[in-house]
């Protein structure tokens, strides 16, 4: 719920993205999150599990 609330705020501020890249964390693979991004027409791209290189852009953004 907090994640979806955050995305609503981000969409209001920055606009709705065409795609979102995430890791495979429980919040991002939940049914609720899938329904949310489907409702908004957003493509969900997940990183390859146990492959830090594939997640480097996401992880770097999290540090900033």
Tell me the pTM: 0.71
Residue 10, both tokens = 């981000």
CATH number at residue 45: 3.30.420.10
Residue-level pLDDT at 54: 63
Residue 27, both tokens = 């919040």
CA proximity to 47, closest of 19, 21, 27, 28: 21
Residue-level pLDDT at 56: 63
Residue-level pLDDT at 57: 59
List the pLDDT tens digit at each of the 64 positions of the chain: 789 999 999 999 999 999 998 888 899 999 999 999 999 999 999 877 766 666 665 555 555 5
Domain tally, the chain: 1
Domain that holds residue 11: 2-63
């Amino acid at each position: 719920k907090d994640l979806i609330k955050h995305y609503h705020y981000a969409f209001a501020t920055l606009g709705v993205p065409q795609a979102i890249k995430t890791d495979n964390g429980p919040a991002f693979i939940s049914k609720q999150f899938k329904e949310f991004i489907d409702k908004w027409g957003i493509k969900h791209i997940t990183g390859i599990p146990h492959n830090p290189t594939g997640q480097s852009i996401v992880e770097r953004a999290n540090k900033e």
